Amino acid sequence: MTAPLRIAVAGASGRMGRMLIEAVLGAPDAELAGALEIAGSPALGQDAGAALGRATGVVITDDLAAGLSRAQVLIDFTRPEGTLAHLAACRAKGVAMVIGTTGFTEPQKAEIAQAAQHVAVMRAPNFSVGVNVMLKLLEHAARALNQGYDIEVIEAHHRHKVDAPSGTALQMGEVLASALGRDLKACAVYAREGHTGERDPSTIGFSTIRGGDIVGDHTVLFAGIGERIEITHKSSSRVTYAQGAVRAARFVAGRSSGLFDMNDVLGLR
């Protein structure tokens, strides 16, 4: 019988952390091996399954060495600075990492890529299978609608999200720009106010909505003359992200190094 995959979870007491723990506990081939939180968190010392009404025997800790001591893979959906600290610890211990954190700067992305030369890292702004299929659809749509269509990316998330546009929206923009032979840094428009003049047809626009408990909605609008095409994905639960992250953990487990994304996990490359 194959031994279960030993997975640790960062941000264990947060909304996503609890969902990840539940997904790990529900996976027949996985075992919760560690649970991390920031220093001062009221959850420190508690059983990682307490919020789910389950006893796991894994105590939430801010000690990276202790939290990673049994882990093969760490799943991290926290903040950039915390993720990079966890990455350094994973690199030192040879623990693979699944990163769902968004809002990284370019130098921080380069730091992740450098670490991936030493341990396996799977990074994606969105772990939903549906979102990643949508990215492939956008690639094909952009190539077919490369003339006469204005492109807008519209995203909505809950009031607690701290970065904008979402990492998923930015990834959609990257896919669109690449398919059109453009540089997103040069053609993206993130805000419109006042007298903006006519829309530049070479731009890709972004609109951001924040409110309530919206899990995550993304729409890409291709607006032509006399018609428009909208490709939309709506998340009603974080379960799909957690299940995708566990799937990604299976993918990186046992790999010695490399930087991967969901295209690799889903065979969409």
- What domains lie within the chain, and their CATH numbers? 5-123+238-266 (3.40.50.720), 129-235 (3.30.360.10)
Counting as low any pLDDT under 50, the low residues of the chain are none
Catalytic residue among 140, 158, 160, 161: 161
Rounded CA-CA distance 3/11 in Å is 25
Catalytic residue among 109, 118, 140, 157: 157
pLDDT of residue 1: 67
User: Global pTM?
Assistant: 0.82
Counting beta carbons within 10 angstroms of the beta carbon of residue 25, is it exposed (0 to 12), middle (13 to 18) or buried (19 or more)? middle
Rounded CA-CA distance 210/156 in Å is 6
β-sheet bridge partners, residue 259: 121
> Where do the DSSP E strands lie in the chain?
5-10, 30-36, 60-61, 73-76, 96-99, 120-123, 150-157, 188-189, 204-210, 216-223, 228-235, 258-260
Rounded CA-CA distance 128/82 in Å is 23
Active-site residue 218, yes or no? no
For every residue of 182-210, DSSP letters joined together read --HHHHEE----S---SPPTT-EEEEEEE
Active-site residue 157, yes or no? yes
pLDDT of residue 94: 97
pLDDT of residue 238: 85
pLDDT of residue 268: 84
- In Å, the largest CA–CA distance within the chain is 67
- Calculate the average pLDDT of the chain: 96
